[in-house]
Structure 1
Amino acid sequence: MTIINWIISNVLTQAAVVIGLIALLGLALQKKSVGEVLTGTFSTMLGFLVLSAGSAVVQASLTYFGDVFNFGFGLTGTSGALVASIEGINGQAMNELGLGGSIALTLLGIFIVNIILARVTKFKYVFLTGQALLWMSTLTVVGFFFTGLRGPALVIAASILGGIFATMMPAIAQPIMRKIMGSDDIALGHFCTIGYLVAAGVSKVTGDVDHSTEDVKLPESLSFLSDTYVSVWVVMFIFYLVAAIAGGDAGYQYYLESIGSSSSLHWLVACFLQSLQFVVGLYVLMSGVRLLLANIVPAFQGISMKLVPDARPALDCPVTFAYAPNAVIMGFIFTTIGSIIGMFLTMAIPGLPIVIPGVMSNFFAGGTAGVFCNAVGGRRGTIIGCIAHGIFIMLIPAILGPMLAQVGFVNLTVTDVDTALAGMLAMLPGLFG
């Protein structure tokens, strides 16, 4: 048990290590030279870590935006409101409910079930987003714990349910991923997939695929906006400016308190610098995506040939960003608009709690939804589909919140809709039993 816990803590929860080992295995199975194996493994891990570093910079910038935005528009300290924090649920489940061991073993179990299903079924997808698997293991364990399962039965049930989701979510997203990527080499490993498909469905019905978000024609005076990163900065600066004006100096001080820092910067200057920081993070993230894909796809051919024939790696959502960067920003903007609409809807529907929109999920999930929507419905579909996406990712967490409250998670929910729905499925026998 000690060895298993060590492996889980030091290997399976470290996504860069897992992906590096998979690259090493794939290259070794192809009987590459030692030098090629080491270079490919290192480059794969480096690409993932560069991607993660870019994501961390983006998240830090979005923390500023979220704090100032919520303060400026009165969304902080809302009585009875739910905060989307899977991290909070994970910590409480491990510390207060004593489920840390079950969650760790379930993480390993989900990965094993995924490999088995990929081997014996036609769904040849290996889910490689370790953090997403951790959150899935948390919600499935919490759900089955609520029904009364304990010990091995709890771990087995949660592993099977989580393994099915880890196998099926990439499979149902793959038809649109083929359109996005232009090939069948990479799948999506992110537990917001049902939300992406809802958004894409609305986009396909309402959109026009002939007019892509990436084909925006600019007058000569605005030709500087043809540079992707400049155009992203302009849009994001306007977005940040709205939040900064709404929050003002008080909102900026609230942000500084939330991160335990102090600064003499004027809040408008902070807004300007944070919007630049966002673009820096996006640039690093894109560089990591390109480096990762350049190495993981060749390495994965070895696994396809030996362990799971025709297997595809299911990777985290930023792998889609480089294929439609304009759609990413539009997805963020219109998912945010939709989530605000969804927040007011939860206020209006009797029995549902208020859910405060999550800026992180609006960017990463909203951006990916934008790429999905653009692939099937162009610009118009992206706008309408992502507004629908924002509403959807508010309603599902609002339904989950009261269910989690029965286990003891007060004012907490999650916005990863696949994870939320898996938790609901696990809890259903307890609700009706």
Structure 2
Amino acid sequence: MAVFLYIVNNVLSQAVFIIGMVVIIGMIAQKKSWNQILPSTIKTMIGFTMINVGGQTLGTALLPLQQIISKIFNMQAFSADIGAAQAESLADIGTEMALIFAFGFLINLLLARFTRFKYVHLSAHVSFFFAGLIAALLKFNTSLPFIGIIVIGSILLGLYMTGSCAYVAVCMKGVKGGEGFTLAHSSSSGLLAATFLAKTFGNKNQDLEELKIPKEFNFLREMTIALTLVMTVLFLMVCLFATPSWTMENVTGGQDIIVFSMLRGIEFGMWITVIIMGVRMMLSEIIPAFHGIANKIIPNSKPGLDIPLLFPNYPTSVIVGFLCSLIAGLMGMLLLGAMNYPIVVFPALIPTFFTGAATAIFGNAHGGRRGAIIGSVANGFILIFGQALLLPMVGSYAPIMRILSETDYAVYGPILGWILQLFGGA
């Protein structure tokens, strides 16, 4: 058991290894030679690492905003240290989480092989933390024994991994750059909601990416430039609202707020550039390699990949989605405060960026500008109110949920928690 848990926690939980194994298996199935397999595998793993590290660091760069905005609204500030939150969160459920993750992935593979739902969930970092949510809900809301938690949790995770990829694949029809794969990401329920709202209330003919701007500002169509400027202005504005003296004393370490804001904006733009380069490198290798799996091992299957693969085709939607989701989340936070909600809830900024961007992309694809705004605003409200409902249910997993709770945590978490409390409460 110790060896198995070591492999799960140190190998299978590293999505880059799973991506690499997919390329190797796919190319072996196509009878490629070793000197073709090796460079393709390395390039895919490097591309994925660029996306993953870029996304994580880009998200971490947002965390100072949490402390500053907490000061503006005179709210309790929660730790934004992901490492410390993860250590605290996994103390009580680490073993259950690892086993649910491993067996849930196996169930996903079996469902892809033997049912009509041909989707292989390859975002291991996503399913790993969702396994933690399921483990926490089962452990803290039922009296199930250890084996029962593992069995039920694995089935739930396998169904989630397969089902979310399946309905997102339907929503992806018409999304530029989404050919050949589906998304395996815990914003799936938000993407479903954004697609429905955009089709109902949007206007597909008014594409946000085709927004007319003066010729001299055409450089803003480049995502790296636009995000660098937007994040610089955003940091500077919140620093001014929190007062420069307080910000310099408590956040910047004495650094001038203008310099601090410019450096944060440049850092943000740099990591977006890394992500875009990684997207191009990874897609050029993994899609052809996966054809071997789709043709020989799991017939007609599709890979489930991560959200940033869509970013290069929707630079404006990424920015609009983040800002709209952030504004909606702050409004939801104030509403909860006005209602004297017993738990202090703050918008989780990393999910707000990634799920906000994703819901705006889907909203724009299916309902143009209006769809992008409606979809991402809805996402912001779902994140904040869902987090408020979820936190009392997850026990020691709460610290990581305050930082990483994306849309599916906010939607499926409370629903599962209520069902468990109703039928299997401790």
What TM-score, normalized to structure 2? 0.91
Checking the alignment, whether the CA contact within 8 Å between 2:15 and 2:125 is kept in structure 1 is yes
Q: CA RMSD in A?
A: 2.4
Write the letter of the residue equivalent to 1:355: V
**Displacement of 1:203 after TM fit?**
2.3
Out of 90, 96, 108, the residue aligned to residue 94 of structure 1 is 90
Residue in structure 1 matched with residue 280 of structure 2 by the alignment:
290
Q: How far, CA to CA, are the matches of 1:225 and 1:90 in structure 2?
A: 37
Out of 292, 295, 299, the residue aligned to residue 302 of structure 1 is 292
Asked if residue 152 in structure 1 is aligned to residue 147 in structure 2, the reply is yes
Write the letter of the residue equivalent to 1:344: L
SS in 2 for 1:180: coil
Q: How far, CA to CA, are the matches of 2:380 and 2:421 in structure 1?
A: 29
**Displacement of 1:418 after TM fit?**
1.8
SS in 2 for 1:126: strand
Asked if residue 249 in structure 1 is aligned to residue 245 in structure 2, the reply is yes
SS in 1 for 2:120: strand
SS in 2 for 1:179: coil
Q: How far, CA to CA, are the matches of 2:340 and 2:391 in structure 1?
A: 14
Q: How far, CA to CA, are the matches of 2:301 and 2:70 in structure 1?
A: 43
Asked if residue 177 in structure 1 is aligned to residue 172 in structure 2, the reply is yes
**Displacement of 1:64 after TM fit?**
2.9
Q: How far, CA to CA, are the matches of 2:259 and 2:30 in structure 1?
A: 53
Q: How far, CA to CA, are the matches of 2:82 and 2:185 in structure 1?
A: 14
Out of 299, 324, 335, the residue aligned to residue 334 of structure 1 is 324
Residue in structure 2 matched with residue 11 of structure 1 by the alignment:
11
**Displacement of 1:93 after TM fit?**
4.8
Q: How far, CA to CA, are the matches of 2:127 and 2:116 in structure 1?
A: 21
Residue in structure 2 matched with residue 128 of structure 1 by the alignment:
122
Write the letter of the residue equivalent to 2:251: Y
- Shift of the 167–86 alpha-carbon distance from structure 1 to 2, 3 Å rule, reads farther
- Shift of the 140–233 alpha-carbon distance from structure 1 to 2, 3 Å rule, reads same
Checking the alignment, whether the CA contact within 8 Å between 1:135 and 1:419 is kept in structure 2 is no
SS in 2 for 1:303: helix
Q: How far, CA to CA, are the matches of 1:104 and 1:165 in structure 2?
A: 16
- Shift of the 347–71 alpha-carbon distance from structure 1 to 2, 3 Å rule, reads closer
CA-to-aligned-CA distance 1:40-94 (integer Å, 9 cap, x gap): 11111010011123223312321233333333333344xxxx8899977753453
- Shift of the 349–64 alpha-carbon distance from structure 1 to 2, 3 Å rule, reads closer
Write the letter of the residue equivalent to 2:154: S
Checking the alignment, whether the CA contact within 8 Å between 1:148 and 1:430 is kept in structure 2 is no
**Displacement of 1:197 after TM fit?**
1.7
Of residues 145-154 and 185-194 in structure 1, the stretch that sits farther from structure 2 once superposed is: 145-154
- The size of the alignment, in residue pairs, is 420
Residue in structure 2 matched with residue 316 of structure 1 by the alignment:
306
Residue in structure 2 matched with residue 103 of structure 1 by the alignment:
97
Write the letter of the residue equivalent to 2:406: D
Q: How far, CA to CA, are the matches of 1:129 and 1:32 in structure 2?
A: 25
CA-to-aligned-CA distance 1:3-56 (integer Å, 9 cap, x gap): 212211221111111111111111111110111111111111010011123223
Out of 259, 274, 290, the residue aligned to residue 269 of structure 1 is 259
**What is the aligned-residue identity percentage?**
30
Q: How far, CA to CA, are the matches of 1:129 and 1:142 in structure 2?
A: 20
Q: How far, CA to CA, are the matches of 1:403 and 1:88 in structure 2?
A: 20
Residue in structure 2 matched with residue 259 of structure 1 by the alignment:
none
**Displacement of 1:324 after TM fit?**
0.7
Q: How does 1:354-369 map onto structure 2 within 5 Å?
A: 354-369=344-359
Q: Which runs of 5+ in 1 are unaligned?
A: 257-261
Checking the alignment, whether the CA contact within 8 Å between 1:249 and 1:267 is kept in structure 2 is no
Write the letter of the residue equivalent to 2:312: A
Asked if residue 195 in structure 1 is aligned to residue 190 in structure 2, the reply is yes
**Displacement of 1:182 after TM fit?**
5.1
Of residues 350-359 and 117-126 in structure 1, the stretch that sits farther from structure 2 once superposed is: 350-359
Residue in structure 1 matched with residue 72 of structure 2 by the alignment:
72
**Displacement of 1:419 after TM fit?**
3.1
SS in 1 for 2:304: strand
Out of 222, 227, 240, the residue aligned to residue 222 of structure 2 is 227
**Displacement of 1:110 after TM fit?**
0.9
CA-to-aligned-CA distance 1:190-233 (integer Å, 9 cap, x gap): 01210222223222222211111111222233233343332333
Q: How far, CA to CA, are the matches of 2:183 and 2:84 in structure 1?
A: 25
- Shift of the 286–380 alpha-carbon distance from structure 1 to 2, 3 Å rule, reads same
Checking the alignment, whether the CA contact within 8 Å between 1:84 and 1:415 is kept in structure 2 is no
Out of 383, 393, 401, the residue aligned to residue 403 of structure 1 is 393
Checking the alignment, whether the CA contact within 8 Å between 1:218 and 1:226 is kept in structure 2 is no
Q: How far, CA to CA, are the matches of 2:290 and 2:415 in structure 1?
A: 33
Residue in structure 2 matched with residue 25 of structure 1 by the alignment:
25
Residue in structure 2 matched with residue 429 of structure 1 by the alignment:
420
**Displacement of 1:410 after TM fit?**
8.1
Write the letter of the residue equivalent to 1:62: L
CA-to-aligned-CA distance 1:310-353 (integer Å, 9 cap, x gap): 11111111111112111011000101111112112323446563
- Shift of the 93–69 alpha-carbon distance from structure 1 to 2, 3 Å rule, reads closer
Residue in structure 1 matched with residue 43 of structure 2 by the alignment:
43
Write the letter of the residue equivalent to 1:155: I
Residue in structure 2 matched with residue 139 of structure 1 by the alignment:
133
Q: How far, CA to CA, are the matches of 1:395 and 1:24 in structure 2?
A: 43
Checking the alignment, whether the CA contact within 8 Å between 2:198 and 2:375 is kept in structure 1 is yes
Write the letter of the residue equivalent to 1:304: A
SS in 1 for 2:303: strand
CA-to-aligned-CA distance 1:122-151 (integer Å, 9 cap, x gap): 111111111111111111111122311122
Checking the alignment, whether the CA contact within 8 Å between 1:289 and 1:318 is kept in structure 2 is yes
SS in 2 for 1:178: coil
Q: Which runs of 5+ in 2 are unaligned?
A: none
